[in-house]
Amino acid sequence: MPKKEKVQKEVKLTEAQKLEFDFAFTEATKAVLLQELDKGLSLYATCLKIDPSSAVVRYELANIYMSQEDFTSALELSRGAVSLQPLNIWYQIQLANIYQKKGMMEQACAVYDELVEMHPERYDFYYMQAAIFASVEKFDEAIEVYDRLEKKEGIQEGVSLEKERLYIAAGNRKMAYAEIQKLIKKNPYRADFYGMLADLYTEDKQEEKAFEQYEKILKIDPENGLVHFYLADFYRKKGEIEKSNVSLFKAFSNSEIESDQKIQFLISILMNGENESLSDEYLKELLDKLVEVHPGQVRVHALYADFLRKRKDNEGARFHLRKVLEEEKTNYVVWEELLLIDNDMLDFESMFKESSEALKYFPSQPLLYIFKGVAAAQKEEYKVAIETLEEGFAYIGGNVKLRVQFKTYLGDAYYQMGDAKKAFKAYDDVLLFEPENVVVLNNYSYYLSVKGEELEKAKKMSSLCVSLEAENSTYLDTHGWVLFRMGEFQNAKTVLEKALEFGGGESPVIVEHYGDILFRLGSKEKALEEWKKAKEIGEGSMYLAEKIKTGIIPEETEQDEQ
């Protein structure tokens, strides 16, 4: 920290000293630019030794100390610079800034008093001085600065708005009103000033006076959309919902109002639960109007899609998400939402097509491979499904949940392709990480029973599956069928009856299985009744018609019936 110094008189330098000074000053400036501050300080100190009366060196040194938050050192140097060159604006501004940093607001304002006196044309100095007073809540002093500026230039929008803000901060709302009224008097056709006045009245619970201002706006500018937003809010607070909705619709119909403002308004309503008075039908009308007035606006379609999705209108939501993607192909969240809707709608053609396109933009997103793989499998394109899922598996990293999903779908696809060995290996991998994965436990045990392999293992898995979900008719059917294949017909009958109790009676496969068990237990007439019932419900196995025709189970079907 430099010692307090006396201001030097101007020093006359020799040519050699000038060269030495200029070189040191230039090198110091370079060092500061390169953030070599210690080097810069040393070189500037050399400059002061050469010319103790240099104001610019003091100014630069003060800047360095300010950057290091050594405001005491900076203050001494800055005062020296100003004393040497009191007419230099930049030196004065630096000094005022240092005073502010040190909390010496009176001194900072005194500097701006000098600046205003020296440069009466610089209105920014008034604003700076007023801001300093306001920062320490000296509102009256700040207002007095603006009053001085107003006397010089007359009523100005920026000045009056700043004064209004200061009066409100000081708790003098009467004068705040006066400032806005001054602006209205000077600009009687400026609708926004009436809106500001209405805001003040609204804040003070003077709704009727606020309404008068809105009416004045409509007289001045009948097509003013913003005032309809104000009126919508005004009427809603008074409980006049129909009038509020009419005003709001007018605001949404106005093309002069930015779509973002309308979207923000709708979001605030939807997010804050303020739509009790707005029916879904009316909100849909607003959204339709948004689309009409602002065609092609991505955020409009995104908001509409979200609105419809929450109301279970998947088809409508999908339409608007596709509109978003027409403009923003690289929005991953929208692709994922669209594919989830495809999946909910069981539209696997769209799911396959759209996941394939999404992968062009996001080739390392594993979920997209799952969507495409599942869609391909549903389309019975098992080879494509396997290729897709194997490719996507490379991107899962250490994500266990994704590993389980990929291996589950791969296992299903391998089995359908006739590669049971790979399928069962994939299922074993899933159960290693999730031993209670009911989907894999069910599929694995069923496929083993169909092949007649490892039936004890199948029984153990299907038993665990039904213990985890005791009322799932599909899982009960699988367990019963495993028992059937093991020759435990009576136990199989008990389990299948539970499956029928929990909704299995609507499945032709489960009813047919029940008939098969009855047949093996010797109840051939009852078995035939169940087979016929299965036929009435829908499509059973490929042997169902033959069973009904012959009244028996063909022996050769027992090993491959599904």
pLDDT at 7: 47
- Per-residue pLDDT 10s for the chain (562 aa) are 344 444 445 678 888 989 999 999 999 999 999 999 999 999 999 999 999 999 999 999 999 999 999 999 999 999 999 989 888 989 988 998 898 888 888 888 888 878 887 887 787 888 888 888 888 788 888 888 888 888 888 888 888 898 999 989 888 999 999 999 999 999 998 888 998 898 899 888 888 898 899 889 888 887 777 888 888 878 877 788 888 888 889 889 888 888 888 888 888 777 665 556 678 888 899 999 999 999 888 999 999 999 999 889 999 999 999 999 999 999 999 999 999 999 999 999 999 999 999 999 999 999 999 999 999 999 999 999 999 999 999 999 999 999 999 999 999 999 999 999 999 999 999 999 999 999 999 999 999 999 999 999 999 999 999 999 999 999 999 999 999 999 999 999 999 999 999 999 999 999 999 999 999 999 999 999 999 999 999 888 889 999 999 989 886 444 444 4
Residue 299: burial class (beta carbons within 10 Å; 0-12, 13-18, 19+): middle
Phi, psi of 548 (to 5 degrees): -65, -40
Domains of the chain: 435-554 (1.25.40.10)
Distances (CA, A) of 314 to 25, 49, 297, 341, 358: 71, 80, 20, 6, 19
pLDDT at 31: 92
DSSP structure string for 157-211: HHHHHHHHHHHHHTT-HHHHHHHHHHHHHH-TT-HHHHHHHHHHHHHTT-HHHHH
Q: Confirm if 51 and 80 have CB atoms less than 8 A apart.
A: no
Residue 316 token pair: 């409508």
pLDDT at 5: 44
**How far is the first Cα of the chain from the last one, in angstroms, to the nearest whole number?**
91
* pTM over the 0.75 mark: no
Distances (CA, A) of 434 to 39, 466, 486: 64, 16, 26
pLDDT at 559: 42
DSSP structure string for 41-92: HHHHHHHHHH-TT-HHHHHHHHHHHHHTT-HHHHHHHHHHHHHH-TT-HHHH
Strand, coil or helix: 99: helix
- CA torsion angle for 268, 318, 295, 281 (degrees, to 10)? -50
pLDDT at 394: 94
pLDDT at 267: 82
Q: How many CB atoms lie within 10 A of CB 498?
A: 17
Separation between Cα atoms, residue 293 and residue 302, nearest integer Å: 15
| DSSP letter, residue 395 | G
